[in-house]
Amino acid sequence: NAGVTQTPKFQVLKTGQSMTLQCAQDMNHEYMSWYRQDPGMGLRLIHYSVGAGITDQGEVPNGYNVSRSTTEDFPLRLLSAAPSQTSVYFCASSYVLGQPYEQYFGPGTRLTVT
Amino acid sequence: DQQVKQNSPSLSVQEGRISILNCDYTNSMFDYFLWYKKYPAEGPTFLISISSIKDKNEDGRFTVFLNKSAKHLSLHIVPSQPGDSAVYFCAASDAGGTSYGKLTFGQGTILTVHP
């Protein structure tokens, strides 16, 4: 049981480039989400999904796209990278029923946009 | 507008003593609160939670207290150990509303426990 995995661990992009951050979980969790962590800001929700085919925006969705075609995967796409998107990105998952707020986090992707 | 605030960026405690981490919130719709712990280069891990129908929840060395009238919660670690040194995040959710599953995090407090 690998839990929540994220790739890559590190990435450097130039302004205007696009890329996809990968997230996968093997716990059969319905709920998946993406957060970004910036100094002094805590973790802020970007997008989330309550099941395959269902996604919604969080607090800071601009510049990011998501899709959920399977229960296991929830990729985050940066459409045209900007220096303001330099951050550490965390993917998380949890069950929808039971204790849904005890989300399990991946190890993070550190992204630098120059 | 920061709905969940951790006003102390850092806390330093001696091993064996009590660590008290504080968190304030402004949204009266929040009814479920969690604490997460984060080591460098790792994702946050769930530590302990409390529902708004309770004012205290205990799990081993960790106790969370909730004061709804003051919109304040605190995490007590007794006794503190060097391995507790990490960043602690407070988080809140509106369990009964449409924000199901969405967590609002505080800025985090860096706890350092000295041997």
Q: What is the pLDDT of residues A52-110, one digit of tens each?
A: 999 999 999 999 999 999 999 999 999 999 999 999 999 999 887 555 568 899 999 99
The helix/strand/coil state of A28 is coil
pLDDT at B69 over 90: yes
Cα–Cα distance for residue pair A68/A72, rounded to 1 Å: 8
With b for 16 or more beta-carbon neighbours within 10 A and e for fewer, the B86-107 pattern comes to bbbbbbbbbbeeebebbbbbbb
Q: Which residues of chain B neighbour A100 with C-beta distances below 8 Å? A: 100-101
Do B34 and A99 lie within an 8 Å CB cutoff? no
The mean pLDDT value of chain B amounts to: 93
B34 touches chain A (CB under 8 A): yes
Of A64, A50, A72, A52, nearest in space to A109 by CA? A64
pLDDT at B98 over 80: no
| Beta pairing, strands A10-13 & A109-113 | parallel
Q: Which of A43, A60, A102 to mutate to test the interface with B (most CBs of B within 10 A)?
A: A43
Which chain A residues touch B if contact means CB-CB below 8 Å? 4, 31, 33, 35, 40-45, 48, 50, 58-59, 90, 92, 94, 96, 99-108
Four-point Cα dihedral B85, A106, A97, B59, nearest 10: -10
pLDDT at B99 over 70: no
